[in-house]
Every structure is written in C-alpha cells, then in structure tokens.
C-alpha cells in the first residue's frame, strides 16, 4: 500500500522520531510505514489521519 | 531508503541506522564471549596458578569486553538520541532488563560451576537442587513477567517483527528437534542436547526479529 506520510511529515518539518512520538510508536515503525514495508492497522491509520487532519484515503491508497 | 524529509539524515546515516541493530547484537555477543573467556582464564589461574601468559590473556579478554561494551553503549546512545514516547522507552528498558537477567543467570552459573564443579549450563549432568530451583524461579517468574510486559508494551510494527521471528523459531524447532531425536536413536547423530536446540531456536528467532525490525 502506498502512502503520503513522508510528504505530509516533510510539510510540517517533522523528523521521523517526532512523528513517532506523536503517534506513540517507534521511529522504526514510522520508517517502515513510509517505505511501504509495513501496512498500519486500522486503529493506527485512524491515529495518523487524525494527526494530519485528513481522511484516511487521502493519506493511504493502493 | 533515504529520508529526504529529514535534513539531518544523510545516506551514510541511513546505512548506519540499518546496520545498527546487527552491530549492537554483534558487539553484545563479542562482549559476553570475551567476559566468558575472562572468567575461564580466572578459573584456570585459580587452579594452575598465575602466569604472565594468563595475565596477558586476561588483559586482552577484558580489553575486548570493555571495548565491545563501550561500542555497544555508544551505538545505543546514538539510536535513542531522538524524542521517544514513554511506551517505546519502556519496552526498550524491559529488553535491557531481560538481557541483564540473562547475564546475571550466566554469571551465577559460572560462579556455581567453580564452587560445585557440576553446574555446566550447556551440559546434561545433575545440578544442585537449589541452583536449579532458583534458576527456574528466575527464568519463569522474572523472565515470564518481563516477556508479558514487553509484549503488551511494543507497537504493532515491533509485534509484527516479533511474530515473524517467533514463527521462524517455531519452524526451526519443529524440524530440528524430531530430526535430531530420530538421528540420535538411529545412531548417526550425537546424543540429543536440548540446550543446543534452545540456543539454535533463540538465534533464529532473534536474527529474524532484528531483520524484520530494521529492514
């Protein structure tokens, strides 16, 4: 699954560690999601969507 | 993958970050091996007397252990320099506590081996009852508690890596254990050593877990 997480993070000038802190996950988890090696669960996808104040489908797409 | 959005991250940093868990594991193994060697040399000196060669070997072993420990500490400090959520920090502390428990158990066995002469961790010989009981209590109660707490504290990415490692470890056990058992009964494999199987499963589990965690 593709996503715009890296772009959205860059727009806010957050590091991976800062985003991980806001999502309560490890930096490795953020990196794995950004690179498409880990598809987040639905609860985490909702947390990401709430953090960026966007619908899930605008962040994640297949 | 280069993190273009993070201006502080260069390709060299990324390579370092990817190889960091393996380097950390390697340095820890080297440190434990060097410490074990140092304990062995001290034991030999207690039996055979202190010789200049033994002292030099002891200094080299302690030097390697110290260097590996310092290198591991530097790598760990670099890996945890960014902001972290309390949950991530807690799960890492539990991992460190688990490693410390293993180290304490190893040292206890080493000391007991010197005093009783029969507490070989990887052998099948009899053990003093108190040592076996204490070790089981520590392993099951403390180790089990730490494991449960760690499993409840990790995030979903870590859990996925852990599950992949656990599955690889289980498959290793399912194929190695019966094969060795049958081969030993058939007379073409050495006597079955449960701790060797345990270490093999643990190694496969850890390698796959770390690989999934860092890829």
Say how far apart CA B127 and CA B118 lie, in whole Å.
Answer: 6
Name the residue of chain B whose CA is nearest to A22's CA. Answer: B85
**For B78-134, how does the pLDDT look when each residue is reduced to its tens digit (9 = 90+)?**
666 678 888 998 998 998 898 888 878 877 777 776 665 555 556 677 778 888 888
In B121-193, alpha helices (H): 129-137, 144-153, 156-186
Choose the closest CB to B160 out of A9, A18, A38: A38
Q: CB contact, 8 Å: B3 with chain A?
A: yes
What pLDDT was estimated at residue B81?
67
Single out the residue of B141, B137, B119 nearest to residue B128, CA to CA: B119
| Residue contacts between A and B (CB atoms, under 8 Å) | 64
Q: Is B48 exposed, middle or buried (0-12, 13-18, 19+ CB in 10 A)?
A: exposed
Q: In this structure, are residues A52 and A46 in contact, taking their beta carbons and an 8 Å threshold? A: no
Cα(B184)–Cα(B175) distance, rounded to whole angstroms? 14
Q: Which residue of chain A is at minimal alpha-carbon distance from B210? A: A28
Across residues B137-160, what is the average pLDDT? 93
Confidence of residue B62 (pLDDT cuts 50, 70, 90): confident
pLDDT digits (tens, 9 = 90+) for A2-55: 899 999 999 999 999 999 999 999 988 999 999 999 999 999 999 999 999 999
Selected residue with higher pLDDT from B186 and B120: B186
């Amino acid at each position: 699954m593709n996503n715009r997480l890296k772009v959205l993070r860059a727009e806010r000038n957050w590091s991976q560690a800062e985003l991980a802190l806001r999502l309560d996950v490890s930096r490795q988890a953020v990196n794995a999601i950004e690179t498409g090696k880990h598809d987040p669960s639905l609860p985490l996808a909702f947390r990401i969507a709430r953090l960026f104040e966007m619908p899930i489908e605008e962040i994640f797409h297949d | 993958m280069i993190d273009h959005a993070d201006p502080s991250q260069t390709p060299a940093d990324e390579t370092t970050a990817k190889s960091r868990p393996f380097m950390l594991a390697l340095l820890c193994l080297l440190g434990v091996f060097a410490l074990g060697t140092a304990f062995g040399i001290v034991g030999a000196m207690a039996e055979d007397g202190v010789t200049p060669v033994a002292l030099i070997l002891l200094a080299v072993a302690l030097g390697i252990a110290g260097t590996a420990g310092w290198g591991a500490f530097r790598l760990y400090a670099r890996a945890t320099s960014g902001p972290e959520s309390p949950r991530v920090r807690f799960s890492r502390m539990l991992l460190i506590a688990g490693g410390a428990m293993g180290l304490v158990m190893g040292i206890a066995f080493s000391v007991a081996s010197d005093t009783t002469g029969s507490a070989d961790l990887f052998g099948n010989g009899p053990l003093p009852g108190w040592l076996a009981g204490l070790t089981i209590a520590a392993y099951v109660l403390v180790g089990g508690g730490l494991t449960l707490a760690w499993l409840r504290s990790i995030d979903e990415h870590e859990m996925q890596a852990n599950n992949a490692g656990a599955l690889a470890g289980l498959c290793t056990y399912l194929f190695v254990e019966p094969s060795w058992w049958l081969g030993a009964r058939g007379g073409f494999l050495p006597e079955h050593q449960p701790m060797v199987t345990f270490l093999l499963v643990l190694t496969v589990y850890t390698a796959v877990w770390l690989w999934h965690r860092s890829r």
